[in-house]
Amino acid sequence: MVAGVSWAVSVATVWVAAVAWQASAVAGEAAAAIGVRVESGDGGVVKGVLDGIDRDVVALVTEDGPRRLPCGDVRRLTRVMPAVADPAPERWSMRVVGIDGLTIDGEDFLWSDGTAAVLRGGQRLVLPCERVRVVEWSPRPAAASPPAWLAAVPAVPTADLIAVSQGEGFELVECAITGVSPDVVTVMLDGDRIPVKRSKVLGLVWARPVKQAVGMRVAIDGGSLAADTVEWRAGELVLDGQVHVPGGWLESIDFAAGRTVRLCDLPLEKSGVEPFFGGLTAVEGLAAFFAPRVVTRDNDREGEIAARAWLLRPRTEATWRV
């Protein structure tokens, strides 16, 4: 249901002031000391002030002095005190959904020259726009149903889409999205560059495939991201060398997520089940009921892969080759 273009665009002076989106703008803010709790794979726990993270070590300042923990031994890092929430969460009027399960709530979204930014509380998270799939203004609570315009988006869009309010309804228009400023969204349509007033825009969808989230899982205040590499530099998080997150947004880093193997993605080498009433497996139709199988649960958050899990009945033995 992608309609043709029938909305009027009033051409005003397009916002062209230079937007300083460099990551240095984030790093330039005063870095506050962040206390963390680090769990190792052997069950040990170390608490201290986060001093640095690179590809090899997590550096802390503890009561007993500096500690350098090999990343390979770290299971999870958690901020001791929760990240300070925005004093008015209802101001988070925008949600970004990425191609790999990334979700970030904020006050606004901007994009220029290939660099995107999520703004919130006078700070900004900077990331390549190629990782963004959906921008939804005025998002609903997590448990609520998707808005009508988002529900109407094809499962696999063949072109970028802009959702424009039209009276009590909306219109989805195929286009090429080229920029987002505080005042307009710029799109290419039939070879023409058209600025669309932001007040008319409900959301944006880029025609990009959804990918399975892999690597470490970083939870931040108002969202989460996947990353192959995580660094802590001068009070900010740097993910994959490209995504710059204000350090004050950090909630936790699941290092083990990048080192675990999902059994749902592996074939079952062999299995056996002996129900409490052993003869049941010989009854026609019941053997399949007791046999191990993968079940799927639809995920409520758009842009995420549906959750999958093995269903094993009591007294089941199963073997996987990792």
Give the tens place of pLDDT for each residue, 302-313.
444 456 787 777
Task: For residue 217, give every residue at least 6 positions away whose Cβ sits within 8 Å of its Cβ, in sequence order, or none.
Answer: 224, 225, 226, 253, 254, 257
Answer for the pair 1, 36: CB distance below 8 angstroms, yes or no. Answer: no
Nearest to 29 by CA among 242, 237, 178: 237
Residue 158 exposure: Cα atoms within 13 Å on the Cβ side: 2
Nearest to 118 by CA among 135, 101, 128, 106: 106
The pLDDT of residue 78 is above 90: yes
Neighbours of 222 (CB within 10 A): 21
Answer for the pair 48, 33: CB distance below 8 angstroms, yes or no. Answer: no
Q: Measured between alpha carbons, how far is 19 from 16 in angstroms, rounded to an integer?
A: 8
DSSP letters for 177-236 = EEEE-SSEEEEEETTEEEEEEGGGEEEEE---------SEEEEETTEEEEES-EEEETTE
pLDDT digits (tens, 9 = 90+) for 101-127: 899 999 999 999 889 999 998 999 999
pTM of the model: 0.72
Q: Mean pLDDT throughout 33-37?
A: 92
When pLDDT is cut at 50, 70 and 90, the band that residue 64 belongs to is very high
Q: Measured between alpha carbons, how far is 81 from 229 in angstroms, rounded to an integer?
A: 24
pLDDT digits (tens, 9 = 90+) for 265-305: 677 777 777 766 666 655 666 666 767 777 876 544 444 44
pLDDT in the model for residue 7: 44
Compute the residue count for the chain. 322
pLDDT in the model for residue 2: 47
